[in-house]
Amino acid sequence: MKLGAVIPVYNHGDAVGAVVQAIRARGLPVLLVDDGSEPRCAAVLDQLAQEADVHLQRLPVNQGKGGAVMAGLRAAQRLGWTHALQIDADGQHDAADIPTFAAAAAAAPDHFICGCPLYDESVPKARLYGRYATHVWVWINTLSLAVRDSMCGFRVYPLARVVPLIDRVSIGRRMDFDVEVAVRLVWLGVPVTNVPTRVRYPSDGVSHFRALQDNLLISWMHTRLFFGMLARLPLLLWRKVA
């Protein structure tokens, strides 16, 4: 197994350096995906990319978080990595938990390793309560409780399973990506390991979640996935009884 970290970055120049430092301190290579950041952040990324085992992929136009992650997953495979740890650039994820994620991936290399957040008092209450609606829809759309929190962006993908999926299927390119790719991996029969992890909001005060637009995107995604579940209903039910 060759594991590296993929970090989608959009104007998180004040926080991303500490995230990279924390990941490198735990021995992982890093792939930064510049999702059309402003010049000041782009300059920070250029400087970070001078460090050993820090790679930079630059997207000329902002693609959204999902678009940046998918570009990073494809690039990670080209780098020879077998697994990619997705982690946010804003410092909300606790890098001290990286060894736990890495160990879980090493123990079950065919599994999708999904973070299950343990929040502190910094989490916005509206965001916290809103997550539960998505949890219920994911459980409905997978007919399982396999994914305990599909919105957590701290996770490890087996690239041999996820890259063919994103190449074959059109998946949401913005804040709907994390949820949709998790559901589709379950549909493919990829086993899931959930890892509790501490989450705080965010260290640099920058959030790109758009309350109206992203909630509409997520609602439309749940609708599409529901009908996708209906089409796969016999297979999903067969797995439960087989």
Residue ranges per domain, the chain?
3-241
Number of Cβ atoms within 10 Å of the Cβ of 231: 10
**Distance separating alpha carbons of residues 53 and 49, to the nearest angstrom:** 8
Task: Give the separation between CA 96 and CA 150, rounded to whole angstroms.
Answer: 21
pLDDT at 173: 86
CA distance 163 to 74: 6
What phi and psi values does residue 59 have, to the nearest 5 degrees? -95, 125
The SS3 assignment for 119 reads: strand
For 138-148, how does the pLDDT look when each residue is reduced to its tens digit (9 = 90+)?
999 999 999 99
The predicted structure's pLDDT at residue 122: 64
- Residue 215 is predicted with a pLDDT of 66
CB distance 157 to 115 below 8 Å: no
Structure tokens that stand for 213 in this block: 């637009």
pLDDT in single tens digits along all 242 residues of the chain? 999 999 999 999 999 999 999 999 999 999 999 999 999 999 999 999 999 999 999 999 999 999 999 999 999 999 999 999 999 999 999 999 999 999 999 999 999 999 999 877 666 666 666 677 888 999 999 999 999 999 999 999 999 999 999 999 999 888 889 999 999 999 999 999 999 999 887 655 555 555 556 668 888 889 999 999 999 999 999 988 87
Position 206 scores a pLDDT of 59
Cα separations (Å) of 8 from 26, 50, 85, 189, 213?
19, 18, 11, 26, 20
CATH superfamily ID and name for 3-241: Spore Coat Polysaccharide Biosynthesis Protein SpsA; Chain A (3.90.550.10)
Which residues, listed in sequence order, are joined to residue 59 by a DSSP beta bridge?
A: 35
